């Protein structure tokens, strides 16, 4: 702290509040020397200029809901929270865009769009706490990727402060803009290692005029795959979510507060399908016809269709319950792998078996955005405060490597997955990432040690 410009002291909080000492990852809290809470882009630029000059480590923070340790502060460094840089700056109906400050909570953006008959499609369980700057920095996915894409697909313009304090402002609203390198892409998914996002121009969609959902029970994974093909074909562009929950997940979710099963019996798979259309009559009838055909073809064993928006919400509660698992399970490890959709149950079975065999007492449960090829799994040893993280991760990631999948579908690399990045990326790709990091942050002061090291350690140290 003493080495920072005294003019910046006014922006610093010391001691650092408890909540800024960690994110939602399962890592230990840290003690940064100070917390900065800038109000403007100029404040952020001044902090980074001073940090660059003095060689001070800075870790940017949004809503702190990340699961990979990307926003966890670093001992001896400072944390920089965007929590004061919030609010909607502009809604442009003709362009169908919203310009916001990076610290704005996701739910605030969703509601601001809705008030104008528009829709911001990014949605995830932590919507009330997470900030859009963090969502974009981690290229968050969530519940409706199958229809609208990841955070990356929803960003048109960006303002970002580089590690040396340079401000890049390009609040572009245009869909089409082929003018050289698309620089904003560098910062999307970089987890705050290349720059600090301060403002964003987001792409909006029309507010859906009719939303329907169903929870369906299936007897086999083949039936789930048939359902997915039928949903793509029968619902077309209306298909807005295809979530699958295995019984090990489902049985825990039913213990969460306010959650109950819309189905009477037990099934090998529980599927949540959502359709977003424009017309209650036409799209409701289409959804019903689609479900009837599934029944007639024997693809599903049982099903419940929503009759109202409150039913849709109640169905989603079975899936949103994942956010409450910390209270239900105690300490556990959370994973977000991706692979080919057809092999997901095979992966789940292999993982469940090997975790039980190789990690004494280890339990696991499976669910996720199966329509996007993204499986979530939680693994834990009951009653164990210190989870055998390395042993569990080794099993989960070695199998994903054998399946040719990705170690992170949507939560990012941060610290927790960094040792396994080479399972999903080639040495050439890792080397280029390290060169990009070194070029933008030559002093290694912005969120160092997250995602990728620059320079890259020698190959033999890299696993
Ligand atoms: C989910 C978050 C954890 O899908 O990615 O529940
Ligand atoms: Zn998810």
251-272 burial, b if ≥16 CB within 10 A, otherwise e?
Answer: ebbeebeebebbbeeebebbbb
- Rounded Cα distance, 96 and 445, in Å: 37
Q: Give the end-to-end CA distance of the chain in Å, rounded to a whole number.
A: 34
CB 111 within 8 A of CB 128: no
Could you tell me if the CB of 52 is within 6 A of ligand 1? no
Helix (H) or strand (E) holding 246: none
Pairing relationship of beta strands 363-369 and 374-380 according to DSSP bridges = antiparallel
What's residue 3's pLDDT? Answer: 59
In angstroms, how far apart are the furthest CA atoms of the chain? 73
Residue nearest to atom 6 of ligand 1 (CA): 322
- Rounded Cα distance, 132 and 83, in Å: 11
Q: Tell me, what DSSP letter sits at residue 16? A: P
Handedness of CA 231, 272, 227, 395 (dihedral sign): positive
Which atom, in ligand 1's list, is nearest to the CA of 320? 6
Residue nearest to atom 5 of ligand 1 (CA): 142
Here the contacts of 359-364 (C-beta below 8 Å, separation 24 or greater) are: 359/388, 359/391, 359/392, 359/395, 362/388, 362/392, 363/248, 364/248
**Residue 45 has which token pair?**
């630029």
CB 48 within 8 A of CB 37: no
411 CA → ligand 2 middle, Å: 8
Which atom, in ligand 1's list, is nearest to the CA of 334? 3
CB 89 within 8 A of CB 64: no
- Rounded Cα distance, 324 and 436, in Å: 38
**Residue 238 has which token pair?**
């209306």
User: Which residue carries 């892409």 as its tokens?
Assistant: 185
What's residue 285's pLDDT? Answer: 97
Could you tell me if the CB of 322 is within 6 A of ligand 1? yes
322 CA → ligand 1 middle, Å: 7
Helix (H) or strand (E) holding 313: helix 309-320
- The residues, any chain, with a CB within 8 Å of residue 332's CB and separated by 6 or more, are 26, 325, 326, 378, 379, 380, 387
Where the chain has pLDDT below 70, the residues are 1-8, 10, 459-463
Classified as helix, coil or strand, 303 is: strand
What's residue 1's pLDDT? Answer: 46
Beta bridge partners of 404: none
Could you tell me if the CB of 376 is within 6 A of ligand 1? yes
455 CA → ligand 2 middle, Å: 32
What's residue 162's pLDDT? Answer: 98
Beta bridge partners of 35: 13, 79
- Rounded Cα distance, 50 and 64, in Å: 24
263 CA → ligand 1 middle, Å: 23
124 CA → ligand 1 middle, Å: 6
Candidate from 126, 130, 142, 150 with most ligand 1 atoms within 8 A of CB, to mutate: 142
- Rounded Cα distance, 420 and 422, in Å: 5
Candidate from 135, 145, 336 with most ligand 1 atoms within 8 A of CB, to mutate: 336
What's residue 385's pLDDT? Answer: 82
CB 88 within 8 A of CB 116: no
Hey, which bits of 246-362 come out as E strands?
269-277, 302-305, 333-338
Candidate from 63, 376, 408 with most ligand 1 atoms within 8 A of CB, to mutate: 376
Pairing relationship of beta strands 78-81 and 58-61 according to DSSP bridges = parallel
What's residue 383's pLDDT? Answer: 87
CB 315 within 8 A of CB 306: yes
- Rounded Cα distance, 86 and 4, in Å: 25
- CA 347 from centroid of its chain's CA atoms: 21
309-321 burial, b if ≥16 CB within 10 A, otherwise e?
Answer: eebbebbbbbbbb
146 CA → ligand 2 middle, Å: 12
Could you tell me if the CB of 125 is within 6 A of ligand 1? yes
Residue 448 CB neighbours (<10 A):
19
């Amino acid at each position: 702290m003493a080495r920072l410009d005294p003019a910046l002291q006014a922006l610093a909080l010391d001691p650092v509040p408890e909540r800024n000492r960690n994110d939602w990852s399962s890592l230990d809290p840290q003690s940064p020397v100070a917390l900065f809470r800038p109000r403007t882009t100029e404040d952020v630029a001044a902090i980074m200029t001073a940090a660059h000059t003095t060689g001070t480590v800075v870790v940017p923070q949004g809503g702190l809901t990340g699961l990979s340790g990307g926003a966890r502060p670093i001992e001896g460094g400072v944390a920089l929270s965007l929590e004061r840089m919030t609010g909607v700056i502009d809604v442009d109906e003709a362009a169908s865009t919203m310009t916001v400050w990076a610290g704005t909570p996701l739910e605030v953006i969703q509601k601001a769009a809705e008030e104008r008959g528009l829709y911001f499609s990014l949605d995830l369980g932590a919507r009330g706490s997470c900030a859009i700057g963090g969502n974009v920095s981690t290229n968050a996915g969530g519940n409706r990727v199958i229809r609208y894409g990841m955070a990356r697909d929803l960003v048109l313009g960006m303002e970002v402060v580089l590690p040396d304090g340079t401000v890049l402002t390009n609040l572009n609203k245009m869909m089409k803009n082929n003018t050289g390198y698309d620089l904003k892409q560098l910062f999307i998914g970089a987890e705050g290692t290349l720059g600090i996002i301060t403002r964003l121009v987001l792409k909006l969609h029309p507010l859906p005029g009719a939303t329907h959902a169903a929870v369906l029970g299936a007897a086999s994974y083949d039936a789930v795959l048939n359902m997915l093909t039928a949903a793509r074909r029968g619902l077309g562009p209306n298909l807005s979510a295809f979530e699958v929950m295995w019984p090990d997940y489902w049985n825990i979710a039913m213990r969460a507060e306010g959650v109950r099963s819309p189905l009477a019996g037990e099934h090998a798979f529980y599927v949540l399908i959502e359709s977003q259309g424009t017309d209650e009559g036409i799209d409701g009838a289409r959804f019903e016809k689609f479900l009837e055909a599934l029944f007639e073809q024997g693809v599903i064993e049982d099903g419940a269709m929503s009759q109202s928006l409150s039913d849709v919400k109640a169905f989603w509660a079975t899936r949103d319950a994942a956010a409450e698992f910390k209270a239900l399970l105690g300490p556990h490890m959370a994973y977000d792998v991706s692979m080919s959709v057809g092999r997901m149950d095979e992966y789940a079975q292999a993982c469940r078996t090997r975790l039980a065999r190789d990690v004494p007492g280890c339990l696991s449960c499976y669910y996720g955005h199966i329509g996007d090829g993204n499986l979530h799994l939680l693994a834990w040893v009951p009653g164990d405060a210190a989870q055998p993280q390395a042993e569990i991760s080794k099993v989960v990631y070695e199998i994903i490597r054998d399946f040719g999948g990705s170690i992170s579908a949507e939560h990012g690399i941060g610290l927790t997955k960094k040792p396994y990045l080479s399972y999903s990326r080639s040495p050439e790709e890792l080397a280029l990432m390290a060169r990009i990091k070194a070029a933008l942050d030559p002093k290694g002061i912005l969120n160092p040690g997250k995602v990728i090291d620059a320079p890259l350690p020698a190959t033999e140290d890299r696993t």
